């Protein structure tokens, strides 16, 4: 077989595996949106079967042999082009996949489907004890997976899990970034807490029709660039985005009848994820150029649209007349400046997904520290709740008032997503740095946002990030897009300039 034929076979095989994975993703989307409660056990079997078949496809002997030969020939036969990058990235995936048996992949899929169902029930019932035993099973399994993945490497168990979400990242690098960020944020939050100037929080926290919120969210998502011909917006208990095919991106949010921010910012966040997925090459779905770079990069897209755009003065100048039309009784007398200030209300709180920009990363650091201890074996599951509550009191100065608003608030651990949390803060850092570059590249960007014209910013991200797929790692992508390596200074500068002005510091 020629190299060309081998390459074609390898790509077809990888895309067939993606077809199986996306089918499992569809079943999981259905589980989170409308599956009957009694269907859970069989759904776990369905997803487990598909994940196992996909893993077999990605590790079958013929595929391994062809990919190995192609990879060995890269230096001698190929320039660093689309073909060689595709081979290199698929080979990297293979080295990870072959360390896991089909049995452990199936077991993990089944356990995490059940874990999410148990978590959902425990959260509704405000009962961590209901979730504790299956969480212990998931943690034990993820420790085993981490040990298998770190074989023949210098990585820690936790780093081996992080690698699935943020390739090549190390705990040392993440710790350094977080330490550089934490102290300026704590200082800024203390200054804000000492300010006598406060926003009108009640502008967001009032009775607002959920059906009207739904329409508003859809209109905003469409305005910023989410393509509803290739995606849809639904509701769930915990917002997320999933891609079920090259032209089928599902974003999900939730609404609070007493809080505008929950649905609006949740939708903008997930739409940011969705627009990234819609910006990847659909012909390469299942291959590196049709796949996202890393979750840090992915989060940078969602957080940029949610924060740098959605919490900007320009955005609120645009959306205020729309809000007045949608909710005349609530917003007829509100000004754009008042709403902009309310959108940037800084106060320590319990709920991560509803946290302001300044305190948000402290939520992530708490979770990052706890899950490192869990995976490394320095914290037992039955001590997690006490650790969580203590850290929220010491780091954010708030007392957890319920298990639902504490350790049960996030879906991630029930889904086995250990190593995911740090990518949120990495994404915030990247978002600030990218937006700084976008402002330098797009003339009058703020005025364009005021006018409701978001196309140029979306096109800029398409060119800077989306079209490259997974041909670069996260560090390379940031370097290429902004001209320098990732630095916390852009996020600190962005938050300081905006919030010090708003709070008269």
C-alpha 466/C-alpha 434 separation (Å) is: 13
C-alpha 155/C-alpha 166 separation (Å) is: 13
C-alpha 312/C-alpha 306 separation (Å) is: 9
Instruction: Tell which residue, 247, 182, 80, has the closest CA to residue 396.
Output: 182
Query: From residue 337, how far is each of 208, 255, 312, 317 by CA, in Å?
Result: 20, 24, 10, 8
C-alpha 483/C-alpha 369 separation (Å) is: 31
Q: Which of the residues 28, 31, 106, 270 is marked catalytic? A: 270
Known catalytic membership, residue 306: no
Residues facing 248 on adjacent strands: 245
Strands 240-245 and 231-235: unpaired
Query: From residue 295, how far is each of 7, 33, 361 by CA, in Å?
Result: 27, 23, 16
* Phi, psi dihedrals of residue 208, rounded to the nearest 5°: -135, 125
* Phi, psi dihedrals of residue 245, rounded to the nearest 5°: 170, 175
C-alpha 142/C-alpha 128 separation (Å) is: 20
**In the block, which residue shows the tokens 């990585």?**
155
Other Cβ atoms closer than 10 A to 32: 21
Residue 451 structure tokens = 């006018």
Other Cβ atoms closer than 10 A to 185: 22
Instruction: Tell which residue, 88, 476, 486, 472, has the closest CA to residue 292.
Output: 472
Instruction: Tell which residue, 305, 260, 255, has the closest CA to residue 279.
Output: 305
C-alpha 18/C-alpha 9 separation (Å) is: 14
Residue pair 310/343 in contact (Cβ under 8 Å)? The answer is yes
C-alpha 96/C-alpha 146 separation (Å) is: 11
C-alpha 56/C-alpha 284 separation (Å) is: 21
In the sheet with 231-235, reading across from the earlier edge strand, the strands are 231-235, 248-253, 240-245
Other Cβ atoms closer than 10 A to 129: 11
Residue pair 59/6 in contact (Cβ under 8 Å)? The answer is no
Residue pair 241/251 in contact (Cβ under 8 Å)? The answer is yes
Instruction: Tell which residue, 486, 434, 402, 413, has the closest CA to residue 125.
Output: 402
Residue pair 130/121 in contact (Cβ under 8 Å)? The answer is yes
In sequence order, the 6+-apart residues with CB closer than 8 A to the CB of 329 are none
Q: Which residues are catalytic?
A: 270
């Amino acid at each position: 077989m020629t190299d060309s034929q081998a390459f074609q076979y390898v790509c077809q095989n990888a895309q067939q595996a993606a077809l199986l994975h996306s089918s499992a993703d569809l079943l999981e989307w259905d589980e989170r949106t409308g599956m009957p409660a009694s269907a859970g056990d069989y759904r776990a079997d369905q997803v487990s079967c598909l994940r196992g078949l996909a893993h077999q496809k990605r590790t079958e002997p013929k595929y391994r042999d062809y990919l190995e030969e192609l990879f060995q020939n890269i230096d001698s036969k190929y320039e660093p082009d689309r073909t060689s990058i595709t081979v290199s990235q698929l080979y990297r995936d293979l080295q990870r996949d072959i360390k896991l048996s089909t049995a452990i992949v199936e077991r993990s899929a089944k356990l995490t489907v059940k874990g999410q169902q148990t978590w959902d029930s425990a959260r509704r019932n405000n009962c961590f004890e209901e979730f504790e035993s299956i969480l212990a099973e998931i943690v034990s399994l993820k420790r085993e997976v981490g040990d298998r993945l770190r074989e023949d490497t210098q990585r820690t168990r936790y780093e081996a899990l992080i690698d699935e979400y943020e390739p090549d990242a190390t705990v040392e690098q993440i710790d350094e970034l977080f330490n550089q960020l934490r102290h300026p944020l704590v200082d800024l939050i203390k200054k804000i807490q000492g300010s006598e100037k406060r926003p009108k929080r009640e502008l967001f926290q009032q009775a607002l029709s959920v059906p009207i919120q739904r329409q508003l969210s859809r209109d905003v998502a469409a305005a910023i660039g989410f393509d509803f011909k290739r995606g849809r917006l639904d509701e769930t208990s915990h917002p997320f985005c999933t891609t079920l095919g090259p032209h089928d991106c599902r974003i999900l949010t939730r609404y609070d009848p007493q809080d505008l921010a929950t649905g609006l910012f949740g939708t903008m966040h997930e739409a940011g994820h969705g627009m990234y997925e819609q910006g990847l090459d659909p012909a390469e779905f299942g291959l590196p150029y049709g796949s996202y770079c890393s979750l840090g990069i992915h989060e940078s897209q969602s957080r940029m649209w949610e924060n740098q755009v959605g919490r900007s003065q320009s955005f609120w100048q645009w959306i205020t007349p729309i809000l007045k039309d949608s909710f005349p009784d609530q917003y007829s007398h509100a000004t754009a400046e008042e709403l902009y200030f309310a959108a940037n209300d800084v106060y320590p709180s319990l709920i991560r997904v509803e946290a302001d920009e300044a305190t948000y990363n402290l939520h992530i650091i708490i979770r990052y520290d706890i899950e490192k201890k869990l995976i490394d074996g320095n914290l037992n599951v039955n001590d997690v709740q006490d650790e969580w509550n203590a850290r929220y009191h010491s780091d954010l100065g708030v007392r957890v008032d319920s298990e639902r608003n504490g350790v049960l608030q996030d879906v991630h651990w029930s889904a086995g997503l250990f190593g995911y949390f740090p990518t949120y803060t990495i994404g915030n850092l990247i978002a600030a740095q990218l937006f700084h570059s976008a402002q330098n590249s797009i003339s009058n960007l703020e005025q364009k946002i005021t006018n409701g014209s978001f196309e140029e910013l979306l096109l800029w991200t398409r060119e800077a990030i989306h079209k490259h797929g997974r041909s670069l790692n996260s560090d390379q992508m940031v370097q290429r897009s902004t001209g320098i390596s990732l630095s916390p200074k852009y996020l600190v500068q962005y938050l300081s300039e905006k919030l010090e002005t708003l709070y008269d510091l």
